[in-house]
Structure 1
Amino acid sequence: MPALTSYTHALTALQAAKLRTLLEERGFEFQTKPYCLYAAARSKVNVCVYEKGPKIVVQGKETEDFITHLLEPEVLGEAKLGYEEVHNPEMFQPHIGVDESGKGDFFGPLVIAGVYVDGNVARRLRDIGAVDSKRISSDERIFKIAGDIRAVPGLAWEVISIHPARYNELYEKFGNLNRLLAWGHARIIENLLERVPGCPRAISDQFANPAVLQRALQTRGREIELVQRTKAESDPAVAAASILAREAFVGWLKSQSQKFSLELPKGVSPVVKQAAASLAQQHGNDLLPALCKMHFRTSSEVLSRSVSDHSNKPAG
C-alpha cells in the first residue's frame, strides 16, 4: 500500500492552539502563509493550520508518522488513521457518489461525474490517493489519479460534459443553475443504475433545496436512498467522481486553449475577463457562447466593453 503523503482534518480552536505548542516543543520551523493561523515544517513533513474551520493539512513523506505519533494521540485524542471502516462503515458499503466541476468557472463545460463503489473498490480508491479534487492543485496529478481510478477492478463510472453552447441552452430552459445541476446529477445516477441495478444508495453534495434533486430522478433513481450532505467529498465514491469530473473539465480547457492559441483560465478573475475580451476582439462576440457560461456577469461586462471599444474607434 502506498504511503500516505497528504491528510486533512478539522480542528477546534483549542486543538489548533495545543498543536502549535507541541510543534514549538518539537523544534518545527514556523512560516507565514496566506489564510493560515500558522504553518510549520520539519524534516519530511509540512503542517498548515488554516483559519477557515480551522483545519489542518499535513503533507510530506512523514505524514503517516506525524498523524499516528503526534496528531491523533496528543491533539485529536483518538486513532482514526487505518480505522476508517470502524468509524465510517457506510463508506465501504455499495453506493454511488456524484460530484461536478466547472460550476463556478466562466470558461468551459459543466461536468458531472458519478462513481459506483463497493468495499474493495473503496479501499483501492483510498490507497491510490483519490481525495476531493479541490485538494489536488496539479492538473497532471488529476490526470494521473483519474487514470488510476478508471483502472480499479469492479468500479463503474459515468461522466457527462455539458459544453458551453449546450449549457447555455439548458440554463435558459431550466431557469437556474440548481435545476440544471439536479438534472445532470439525476442523469448520472440513472445511467449508473442501469449498470449496477442493485445499488441501494447515492451520495452527493447538499443542494440548496434537497427536493430539487429528488424530483429530477426518474423511476430507477426514486427506488434508492438519496443522501445529500455538506462536504460529501470525504466519501471515496464522491471524491473519485470529483477527480473524473475535474479531469474532463481541465482537458476541455487545455484543448480549447491550444485551438485558439490563448490560455482559457479557470475561475472568474480579472485574468479570465481579459482572456474573454481578447477572444471577442479577435474572433467576434458570437464566439463567446461556445466557450463561456453566458449567465455569468462576466459575459455582460465583456460584451459591454467590446461595444465600448468599437464605438471609440476612430471613423475610417
Structure 2
Amino acid sequence: MQETLNFGKGHKEKILEALSKFEQGEVTSYFEEQRAKKDGCTITLYNSGKVSIQGKDAAKVKDELLAMLGLHPELTIGIDETGRGEREGPMVICGVLADTNGMRQLRDSKKTGDIAAKEKIVSEKMLASVSVTINSGAIDLLRSRGSSLNEIEAMAMAKISEFLSGLDANAKIIADGAPIKMPGPAGNAASQKINFLPKGDDLEPVVGAASVVAKHLRNSSHDMGERKTWNRKVETNEQD
C-alpha cells in the first residue's frame, strides 16, 4: 500500500524534524532528500516536497505524520485548466475550494494515472467546485470576436473566483501558470486576489485537485470538434 503527500518547500524543515524521530534509512537516488522507517513502512521525502509512504500501515503512518507536523486546516481555492493548447475538444477551467491537508495526495493531472479515482477523492473531500467547459465551437466564436485565449481563460477564472470566494472570503486563491491579465477590480474584486504560481498544480494540493477535476471533465466530454482558429504558434506562445 502507498500513500502520497505533497508539501511546499516551506514545510521541509518540519518534515525533516519529524522524520528524524524515526529509524533512519538510506536515500537511493539524487532526487531523494531523506528516508525513514516507521511501523514497517518506508517514508521518503523528495526534493520536490513530495512524501511517499510505502507499507501495509501506510494510511496510519500518514495520519501520524500529519499530526506530528501540526498542520492546521487551511481553506484554499485552487484553479487550473486543461485543453487550452489542444487542437480538438473543449478547454475546461476548474476551481476547487478545499482544506489543503485533505488534498495532499493529489498532484498535477498530467502525472496522475487513474483520473477517475482521484476525482472521486476530490469530490468526497472538497467543499465546492465550479467548472467552466468551453467547447471547440465556442472557442472559435470568441476568438473570431477578437478574444485571446488568455482573455477567455481570465473570464472563466473571474467567475469561478467570485463564486468560491463568496463561500469563504478569507480563502487564498492560487491559479496554476504564469500571470495573465484579469478583469478590472470594479467587475470582480476576488479575481484581483488570484496568486499565479507556475507548476502550481504540482506544488499546491488544491490546485492539483482542480487539475484533476478539469481533466476528468475533459475526458468525459463528447466534444471532439476541431478548433478552426487553432494555431500551434499562438497556442504555445500567447501571453497578454
Same fold (TM over 0.5): yes
Q: Taking every aligned residue pair, what percent have the same amino acid on both sides?
A: 20
- Partners of 2:42 and 2:186 in 1: how far apart? 45
* 3-state secondary structure, aligned to 2:211: helix
RMSD of aligned alpha carbons: 3.7
Please state how far the C-alpha of 1:163 moved relative to its aligned partner.
Answer: 0.7
Please state how far the C-alpha of 1:240 moved relative to its aligned partner.
Answer: 0.3
Describe how 1:145-294 pairs up with structure 2 within 5 A: 145-152=118-125, 155-194=127-166, 196-208=167-179, 210=180, 212-213=181-182, 215=184, 218-221=187-190, 225-233=193-201, 234-252=203-221, 255=222, 291-294=225-228
- Partners of 1:84 and 1:295 in 2: how far apart? 51
Name structure 2 gaps, 5 residues minimum: 10-25, 33-40, 52-64, 233-240
* 3-state secondary structure, aligned to 2:3: coil
* 3-state secondary structure, aligned to 1:4: strand
Describe how 1:115-126 pairs up with structure 2 within 5 A: 115-117=96-98, 121-126=99-104
* 3-state secondary structure, aligned to 2:194: strand
- Partners of 1:216 and 1:171 in 2: how far apart? 24
Distance of aligned partners of 1:125 and 1:225 in 2 relative to their CA distance in 1, 3 Å threshold: same
**Larger % of strand: which?**
2
Please state how far the C-alpha of 1:221 moved relative to its aligned partner.
Answer: 1.4
Distance of aligned partners of 1:85 and 1:189 in 2 relative to their CA distance in 1, 3 Å threshold: farther
Equivalent residues of 2:5, 2:50 under 8 A apart: no
**Larger % of helix: which?**
1
- Partners of 1:178 and 1:291 in 2: how far apart? 21
Name structure 1 gaps, 5 residues minimum: 11-25, 29-46, 50-54, 57-63, 257-289, 299-316
What CA deviation, in whole Å up to 9, does each residue of 1:84-143 have, x standing for no partner? Answer: 9969x7x952221100000121111000000012xxx322222xx32110111x3xx101
Please state how far the C-alpha of 1:217 moved relative to its aligned partner.
Answer: 7.9
Report the counterpart of residue 37 of structure 2 in structure 1: none
Equivalent residues of 1:131, 1:240 under 8 A apart: yes
TM-score (structure 2 length as normaliser): 0.66
Distance of aligned partners of 1:103 and 1:180 in 2 relative to their CA distance in 1, 3 Å threshold: same
Answer 1 or 2: higher relative contact order, Cα 8 Å, separation at least 6.
2
Please state how far the C-alpha of 1:294 moved relative to its aligned partner.
Answer: 2.0
Report the counterpart of residue 295 of structure 1 in structure 2: 229
